Amino acid sequence: MKVSVIYFSGSGHTKKMAEAVLSGANLVEGCEASLIEIQGSDIRDGRWKNDAVLAALDESDAIIFGSPTYMGNIAAQMKAIKDATGERYLAQAWRDKVASAFTVSGGPSGDKLNSLVTFATFAMQQGMIWVGLGMTSVNEDGTNRLGFYFGAGGQALMEPPAEAPNNEDKKTGMLLGHRVAQIASRLTS
Protein backbone atom coordinates (compact mmCIF):
# COMPACT_ATOMS: atom_id res chain seq x y z
CA MET A 1 0.00 0.00 0.00
CA LYS A 2 1.45 3.36 -1.07
CA VAL A 3 1.00 6.71 0.66
CA SER A 4 2.35 9.91 -0.87
CA VAL A 5 2.88 13.01 1.24
CA ILE A 6 3.07 15.86 -1.26
CA TYR A 7 3.85 19.32 0.04
CA PHE A 8 5.29 22.75 -0.60
CA SER A 9 7.32 24.48 2.10
CA GLY A 10 8.37 28.09 1.74
CA SER A 11 10.61 28.36 4.80
CA GLY A 12 10.98 24.79 6.07
CA HIS A 13 8.15 24.69 8.63
CA THR A 14 5.73 22.74 6.43
CA LYS A 15 8.58 20.36 5.56
CA LYS A 16 8.91 19.54 9.29
CA MET A 17 5.18 18.74 9.43
CA ALA A 18 5.49 16.64 6.26
CA GLU A 19 8.29 14.60 7.83
CA ALA A 20 6.11 14.04 10.92
CA VAL A 21 3.15 12.95 8.77
CA LEU A 22 5.44 10.57 6.87
CA SER A 23 6.75 9.05 10.11
CA GLY A 24 3.20 8.28 11.23
CA ALA A 25 2.30 6.64 7.93
CA ASN A 26 5.43 4.50 8.09
CA LEU A 27 4.29 3.05 11.44
CA VAL A 28 1.59 1.09 9.62
CA GLU A 29 2.72 -2.37 8.57
CA GLY A 30 2.95 -2.78 4.83
CA CYS A 31 2.90 0.94 4.17
CA GLU A 32 5.37 2.35 1.67
CA ALA A 33 5.21 6.09 2.33
CA SER A 34 7.16 8.73 0.45
CA LEU A 35 7.69 12.48 0.56
CA ILE A 36 7.22 14.53 -2.57
CA GLU A 37 8.44 18.11 -2.22
CA ILE A 38 7.11 20.56 -4.77
CA GLN A 39 9.85 22.38 -6.62
CA GLY A 40 9.41 25.89 -7.97
CA SER A 41 11.30 24.84 -11.10
CA ASP A 42 8.30 22.65 -12.04
CA ILE A 43 6.24 25.79 -12.60
CA ARG A 44 6.88 27.34 -16.00
CA ASP A 45 4.87 30.17 -17.50
CA GLY A 46 2.49 29.91 -14.55
CA ARG A 47 1.70 26.22 -15.08
CA TRP A 48 2.93 23.27 -13.04
CA LYS A 49 4.23 20.25 -14.93
CA ASN A 50 6.03 17.20 -13.59
CA ASP A 51 4.86 13.93 -15.12
CA ALA A 52 6.95 11.83 -12.70
CA VAL A 53 5.20 13.36 -9.68
CA LEU A 54 1.76 12.87 -11.22
CA ALA A 55 2.65 9.24 -12.02
CA ALA A 56 3.69 8.68 -8.39
CA LEU A 57 0.38 10.15 -7.21
CA ASP A 58 -1.51 7.98 -9.70
CA GLU A 59 0.13 4.88 -8.17
CA SER A 60 -0.64 5.94 -4.59
CA ASP A 61 -3.46 4.48 -2.52
CA ALA A 62 -3.50 7.61 -0.36
CA ILE A 63 -2.37 11.18 -0.92
CA ILE A 64 -1.76 13.59 1.94
CA PHE A 65 -1.42 17.21 0.83
CA GLY A 66 0.59 19.79 2.76
CA SER A 67 0.93 23.53 2.36
CA PRO A 68 1.65 26.61 4.37
CA THR A 69 -1.37 28.85 4.74
CA TYR A 70 -0.52 32.10 3.00
CA MET A 71 -3.01 34.95 3.12
CA GLY A 72 -5.79 32.62 4.21
CA ASN A 73 -5.32 29.86 1.65
CA ILE A 74 -2.92 27.26 0.28
CA ALA A 75 0.32 28.33 -1.39
CA ALA A 76 0.19 29.14 -5.10
CA GLN A 77 2.54 26.23 -5.78
CA MET A 78 -0.04 23.76 -4.44
CA LYS A 79 -2.84 25.47 -6.36
CA ALA A 80 -0.78 25.02 -9.53
CA ILE A 81 -0.65 21.25 -8.92
CA LYS A 82 -4.40 21.08 -8.38
CA ASP A 83 -4.90 22.94 -11.66
CA ALA A 84 -2.66 20.41 -13.44
CA THR A 85 -4.96 17.49 -12.54
CA GLY A 86 -7.81 18.40 -14.91
CA GLU A 87 -7.45 15.26 -17.01
CA ARG A 88 -7.46 13.12 -13.87
CA TYR A 89 -10.61 14.90 -12.70
CA LEU A 90 -12.42 14.24 -15.97
CA ALA A 91 -11.40 10.57 -15.91
CA GLN A 92 -11.97 10.31 -12.13
CA ALA A 93 -8.53 8.66 -12.05
CA TRP A 94 -8.11 9.29 -8.31
CA ARG A 95 -11.59 8.07 -7.41
CA ASP A 96 -11.60 6.14 -4.10
CA LYS A 97 -8.02 7.06 -3.20
CA VAL A 98 -7.75 8.19 0.42
CA ALA A 99 -6.94 11.87 0.93
CA SER A 100 -6.10 14.24 3.77
CA ALA A 101 -4.09 17.39 4.42
CA PHE A 102 -2.05 19.45 6.84
CA THR A 103 -1.04 23.09 6.97
CA VAL A 104 1.13 25.51 8.93
CA SER A 105 0.69 29.24 9.53
CA GLY A 106 1.77 31.89 12.01
CA GLY A 107 -1.37 32.31 14.10
CA PRO A 108 -3.14 29.68 16.18
CA SER A 109 -5.93 29.79 13.60
CA GLY A 110 -4.34 31.77 10.82
CA ASP A 111 -7.19 30.70 8.54
CA LYS A 112 -5.76 27.17 8.43
CA LEU A 113 -9.30 25.80 8.23
CA ASN A 114 -9.77 27.45 4.85
CA SER A 115 -6.64 25.71 3.54
CA LEU A 116 -7.82 22.32 4.84
CA VAL A 117 -11.29 22.83 3.37
CA THR A 118 -9.70 23.84 0.05
CA PHE A 119 -7.87 20.51 -0.04
CA ALA A 120 -11.00 18.60 1.06
CA THR A 121 -13.06 20.22 -1.69
CA PHE A 122 -10.41 19.30 -4.26
CA ALA A 123 -10.41 15.70 -2.98
CA MET A 124 -14.20 15.51 -3.22
CA GLN A 125 -14.06 16.82 -6.79
CA GLN A 126 -11.55 14.07 -7.60
CA GLY A 127 -13.84 11.43 -6.04
CA MET A 128 -11.39 10.74 -3.22
CA ILE A 129 -12.26 9.59 0.31
CA TRP A 130 -11.45 12.34 2.82
CA VAL A 131 -9.97 11.40 6.19
CA GLY A 132 -9.99 13.94 8.99
CA LEU A 133 -7.83 13.95 12.09
CA GLY A 134 -10.25 11.80 14.09
CA MET A 135 -9.43 13.23 17.50
CA THR A 136 -10.64 15.93 19.85
CA SER A 137 -8.66 18.98 20.86
CA VAL A 138 -8.86 17.98 24.53
CA ASN A 139 -5.72 15.89 24.91
CA GLU A 140 -3.34 15.96 27.86
CA ASP A 141 -0.35 15.50 25.57
CA GLY A 142 -1.14 18.70 23.63
CA THR A 143 -1.94 17.00 20.33
CA ASN A 144 -4.45 18.87 18.18
CA ARG A 145 -3.96 21.82 20.51
CA LEU A 146 -5.08 24.15 17.71
CA GLY A 147 -8.42 22.34 17.36
CA PHE A 148 -8.58 21.29 13.69
CA TYR A 149 -10.58 18.29 12.52
CA PHE A 150 -10.34 18.40 8.71
CA GLY A 151 -6.62 17.61 9.01
CA ALA A 152 -3.58 18.66 11.01
CA GLY A 153 -2.58 22.23 11.77
CA GLY A 154 0.78 23.51 12.92
CA GLN A 155 1.89 26.92 14.10
CA ALA A 156 5.11 28.64 13.02
CA LEU A 157 5.92 32.22 12.17
CA MET A 158 9.49 33.49 12.05
CA GLU A 159 11.12 30.86 14.27
CA PRO A 160 13.68 28.52 12.72
CA PRO A 161 12.13 25.22 11.50
CA ALA A 162 14.08 23.44 14.27
CA GLU A 163 11.88 25.29 16.81
CA ALA A 164 8.46 25.44 15.14
CA PRO A 165 6.10 23.79 14.59
CA ASN A 166 6.43 22.52 18.14
CA ASN A 167 6.54 18.88 19.18
CA GLU A 168 2.80 18.76 19.89
CA ASP A 169 1.97 19.98 16.39
CA LYS A 170 4.41 17.55 14.80
CA LYS A 171 2.93 14.71 16.86
CA THR A 172 -0.50 15.76 15.58
CA GLY A 173 0.88 15.46 12.05
CA MET A 174 2.32 12.05 12.87
CA LEU A 175 -1.08 10.90 14.15
CA LEU A 176 -2.72 12.13 10.95
CA GLY A 177 -0.25 10.20 8.79
CA HIS A 178 -0.83 7.08 10.88
CA ARG A 179 -4.62 7.37 10.64
CA VAL A 180 -4.58 7.90 6.88
CA ALA A 181 -2.27 4.90 6.33
CA GLN A 182 -4.40 2.70 8.59
CA ILE A 183 -7.58 3.58 6.72
CA ALA A 184 -5.91 3.18 3.32
CA SER A 185 -4.60 -0.21 4.43
CA ARG A 186 -8.08 -1.33 5.44
CA LEU A 187 -9.61 -0.14 2.19
CA THR A 188 -6.97 -1.78 -0.01
CA SER A 189 -6.90 -5.17 1.69
The mean pLDDT of 74-91, rounded to a whole number, is: 96
Q: Domain 2-188 in CATH: superfamily?
A: Flavodoxin domain (3.40.50.360)
pLDDT over 70, % of the chain: 100
Question: Whose CA is closest to 99, among 71, 77, 118?
Answer: 118
pLDDT tens digits along 18-43: 999 999 999 999 999 999 999 989 99
Give the pLDDT of residue 110: 84
CA distance 106 to 112: 10
Q: In this model, does residue 2 exceed pLDDT 90?
A: yes
Task: Grade residue 143 by pLDDT with cuts at 50, 70 and 90.
Answer: very high
CA distance 184 to 43: 30
Give the pLDDT of residue 50: 96
Please, what is the average pLDDT of the chain? 97
pLDDT tens digits along 90-131: 999 999 999 999 999 999 998 999 999 999 999 999 999 999
pLDDT over 90, % of the chain: 96
Give the pLDDT of residue 40: 87
pLDDT tens digits along 57-75: 999 999 999 999 999 999 9
- For the chain, report the end-to-end CA distance as a whole number of angstroms: 9
The mean pLDDT of 151-176, rounded to a whole number, is: 97
In the chain, domain spans: 2-188
CA distance 85 to 88: 5
CA distance 76 to 68: 10
Backbone angles phi, psi at 158, to 5 degrees: -110, 0
